[in-house]
Amino acid sequence: MTHSLDWKKRRKLRVTVKEALQHLLLLAIGVSFMLPFYWLVATSLKPDAQVFQSPPAWLPHPIMWHNYPKALTYVPFARYLLNTLVICTLSVFGMLLSSSLVAYSFSKIRWPGRNIAFFILLSTLMLPGQVTMIPVFSIFKSLHWVDTIRPLVVPSFLGGAFYIFLLRQFFMTVPLELSDAAKIDGCSELDIYRRVVLPLAKPALATIALFTFIGAWNDFLGPLIYLNDDAKYTLSLGLQQFVSRHGAEWSMLMAASTVMTTPIVVLFFFAQKTFIQGITLTGIKG
């Protein structure tokens, strides 16, 4: 009896040591990854004089909490935040819906011309966007969509090549047996899409939602080109107000950047809770 107890204790110790080492490794590398963000926050709390001190100051002294309310009132922050949230939410919704539908078509339905269409899809990513900016703008101008958020949101409802490609890869890892079984049960393609394939791609969908949100949140060029009224401006455009020809209001810029980055960090933290290994597919016996 004592033997098995000892063995259990030894095993527990080995597991704890292993875990401790893993924590150590994660922290050691993690510290360096945290550096840019730490720098952002630290600089935002520094007085102007310390921002470019050489050698650099790691800790702000004194801590200028005041930089935050100062930065947030320098521009109409609340309005920009609302505008940005509207664009982001709509974009995420549209992208999830449209990209998953299209990806299903490219992965789970066999139709003539599919492979060519897929390659055309990929090809659209290979042309640098700078040379299509002007014709795209003329299209939106002829629709009278300039100075609205439509050019920023509507394309999300038409699928994004990057996300379609990603989801196609994920859908192709869902075993054929599952969708075949559903077909035999008399399910339509829409049912298979909704009930079989989509639930199994939750991590991928969460990733796409996150990327789309972050992309729309940080998008600078889109809102700049299509919005002509600063009541409609977004946070990323507001950030530019801190930068002028002769330099920038560094600590305020960093404070505003921190405020802009924090919601993304929080969003990420909760979004990746869906990444729990083990909830995956089962149900196939023998």
Partner 1 sequence: MSKSSYAIILVIALLVVALLYTPAEKRTDGKVNLTYWTGWTGHELEVQRKLVARFNREHPNIRVRILSVAGSYQKVRIAFAGGSTPDVCSAIWADELAGYAIRGVLTPLDTFMKEYGRSGDEFMPGVWRMLSFRGRPYGLCSTTNSTFIVYNKGIFRRSGLDPERHPRTLAELDRAAELTTAYNADGTFKRYGLRPSSLVFWAYVFGGKWYDEKTGRIAANDPRNVEALRWMVSYAQRYDITRMEAFEQTFGSIQTVSGPFFVGKMAMWTTGEWAEEHMRRYAPKVEWGYFAAPPPPGGRRNTCTVGGSVFVIPAACKHKKEAWEFLNWICGPEAVKEFCLSIGNIPPLKSVAAEPEFQNRPLYKFAIELAGGRNAFGPPPVPIWPQYAAEIARAEDYAMHGRRNPKQLLDEVTIKMQKELDRTLAAFRSR
Partner 2 sequence: MRNMTRRQTSRLVKADLRNGLLFAAPWIAGFLCLTAYPIIASIYYSFCNFDAISPPHWVGMLNYRILVTEDELFWRSLWNTAYMIVFGLPVGLVSSLVLAFLLNLKVRGMAFYRTLYYLPSITPIVAASALWLWLLNPEIGLVNELIMTFGKMLHRLHLPAPAGPGWLIDPAWAKPALIFMGLWGAGGGMLIYLAGLQDVPEQLYEAADLDGASSWKKLWHITLPMLSPVIFFNLVMGLIGSFQYFTQVYVMTGGGPQDATLFYALHLFNNAFLNFKMGYASAMAWILFLITLACTLLVFKTSARWVYYPGELK
d(CA 219, CA 95): 15
* 286 makes contact with partner 2 (CB under 8 A): no
Residues forming a β-bridge with 244: 247
* 224 makes contact with partner 2 (CB under 8 A): no
Q: Which does 73 bind (CB under 5 to 8 A by kind): partner 2, partner 1, none?
A: none
* 150 makes contact with partner 1 (CB under 8 A): yes
* 141 makes contact with partner 1 (CB under 8 A): yes
Q: Which does 26 bind (CB under 5 to 8 A by kind): partner 2, partner 1, none?
A: partner 2
Note the helical H segments in the chain. 2-44, 67-74, 77-108, 114-123, 133-142, 150-153, 161-171, 176-184, 189-191, 198-200, 202-218, 221-226, 235-239, 250-271
Identified binder of partner 1 from the candidate list 117, 121, 224, 267, rule CB under 8 A: 224
What one-letter code names the amino acid at 124? T
Number of other residues whose CB lies within 10 A of the CB of residue 202? 15
- 56: preceding bond cis by omega (within 30 degrees): no
Q: How far is the CB of 2 from partner 2 (least distance, A)?
A: 28
Q: Are residues 167 and 103 in contact, defined by beta-carbon separation less than 8 angstroms?
A: yes
Identified binder of partner 1 from the candidate list 2, 54, 277, 282, rule CB under 8 A: 54
Q: How far is the CB of 26 from partner 2 (least distance, A)?
A: 5
Cα dist from 42 to 39, 46, 154, 218, 250, whole Å: 5, 7, 38, 21, 12
Cα dist from 240 to 51, 142, 244, whole Å: 19, 29, 8
Identified binder of partner 2 from the candidate list 159, 222, 223, 238, rule CB under 8 A: 159
Identified binder of partner 1 from the candidate list 1, 5, 59, 134, rule CB under 8 A: 134
Tokens of 30: 């993690």
Count of residues that interact with partner 1, criterion CB under 8 A: 44
Judged by CB under 8 A, the stretch of 2-10, 65-73, 74-82, 135-143 that binds partner 2 is: 135-143
* 133 makes contact with partner 1 (CB under 8 A): yes
Interface with partner 1 by CB under 8 A: which residues?
A: 48-49, 51-54, 86, 89-90, 93, 97, 133-134, 137-138, 141, 146, 148-150, 153-154, 157, 194, 221, 224-225, 228-232, 237, 240-250
